[in-house]
Amino acid sequence: MKKTILAAIATLGLAGAAHAQDVSGQWRTQADDNGNFALVTISPCGGDYCGVISAAYGPDGRQIQSPNVGRRIVWDMTPQGGGSFTGGKIWAPDRDKTYNSKMQLSGNSLKVEGCVLVVCRGQTWARAN
């Protein structure tokens, strides 16, 4: 009986750790140089995570039309444990370039970073839901 209880507790603990690493949901990007920002919907895609721009907003917070809505912005992000995701790609709409990427989840913040060789740039996104 003790083994059964311990196994159940261990299983719940592992499930909690996996849930704590779940980046699924909507994330608000930081504003660009014009004050515009986006909502990115991240969801599982295979064993990895991918994100699509689901809405765009102007500096006043009102939704705007954008050709980037519906476009993939992050893909192939593999969970590494501890809220870390690596091995993926990120597309930067402001430069129309794709970079090698990694993400770090910390509560309701998601630090995303894209690098080419040793030059990196990034943002910290806030959970929107």
Domain spans of the chain, in order of start: 2-127
Radius of gyration of the chain (CA): 17
pLDDT at 62: 97
Query: Do residues 75 and 48 lie in contact, with contact meaning Cβ atoms separated by under 8 Å?
Result: yes
Closest CA to 25 of 59, 62, 58, 52: 52
Q: Is the pTM of this model over 0.85?
A: no
Average pLDDT, the chain: 86
Mean pLDDT of 6-11: 37
- CA angle 63-128-13, nearest 5°? 160
CB-neighbour burial class of residue 94 (10 A; exposed 0-12, middle 13-18, buried 19+):
exposed
Task: Show the 3-state SS of 72-113.
Answer: EEEEEEEEEECCEEEEEEEEECCCCEEEEEEEEEECCEEEEE
Over residues 94-121, the pLDDT tens digits come to 889 999 999 999 999 999 999 988 889 9
2.40.128.520, 3.40.190.10, 1.10.3720.10, 2.60.40.420: which CATH number matches 2-127?
A: 2.40.128.520
Half-sphere exposure of 39 (CA within 13 A, CB side): 15
Over residues 62-97, the pLDDT tens digits come to 999 999 999 999 999 999 999 999 999 999 998 899
Residue 3 above 50 pLDDT? Answer: no
Residue 25 token pair: 């949901």
How many whole angstroms separate alpha carbon 48 and alpha carbon 34? 32
